[in-house]
Amino acid sequence: MPNTLPVAFADLEPFAEWALPTEAERYAKRLSSNMTELQTFYDAALPRLLDAGNYLDEFPLDALPDDAYRLLQLCYSLINVSFPIEAWSQPRVPDTGASTMDAIFEPVP
């Protein structure tokens, strides 16, 4: 099976399933994951975030190669899991019961 992420980010390939195309899908994956899964992804991806940003800056947003676009999606997922890891210690927003997202605003290349 070919890599889905840029070769320079082969170490993140085990987390390629987090490279989801929409915010709603990323949110659903977060809610369906346990804290161990979130922490494992977070611990692997966070140290590579600056490298990923620098790599992605090499391309115009509207002309990302497919593998770079999946890396961007993976970074979006990292942002999505950062709140449960850093603040809440649970996948859901505390005391809201929210299971869906009503308003989604994200850049689409």
- Whole-angstrom Cα distance, residue 90 to residue 11? 26
In tens, the pLDDT along 7-37 reads: 999 999 999 999 999 999 999 999 999 999 9
pLDDT band at 1 (very low <50, low <70, confident <90, very high): very low
* pTM > 0.85: no
pLDDT of residue 106: 60
In tens, the pLDDT along 84-109 reads: 888 877 777 655 555 555 555 566 55
- Whole-angstrom Cα distance, residue 6 to residue 14? 13
* DSSP secondary structure string for all residues of 17-36: GG--SSHHHHHHHHHHS-HH
- Whole-angstrom Cα distance, residue 19 to residue 77? 7
pLDDT of residue 84: 87
